[in-house]
C-alpha cells in the first residue's frame, strides 16, 4: 500500500472551507478535489 502524504488534498479542502478564499482559488481547489476523487475513490 502506498504511503499517503495528504498535503495537497487537505490544502485544497481547507481552501474550499475558508471564507476568505478567492473564487479563482476555490475553482482550482475544486478541480483538484474532483481529479483526486476520480483517481482514488
Count of CA atoms in the C-beta half-sphere (13 A) of 26: 8
What is this structure's pTM? Answer: 0.66
Cell numbers for 27, please give them: 475553482
SS3 32: helix
pLDDT digits (tens, 9 = 90+) for 1-41: 566 566 788 888 888 899 999 999 999 999 988 888 888 87
- Say if residue 4 is exposed, middle or buried (CB neighbours under 10 Å; 0-12, 13-18, 19+): exposed
Amino acid at each position: 500500500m502506498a504511503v499517503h502524504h495528504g498535503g495537497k488534498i487537505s490544502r485544497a479542502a481547507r481552501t474550499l472551507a475558508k471564507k476568505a478564499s478567492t473564487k479563482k482559488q476555490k475553482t482550482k481547489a475544486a478541480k483538484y478535489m474532483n481529479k483526486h476523487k476520480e483517481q482514488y475513490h
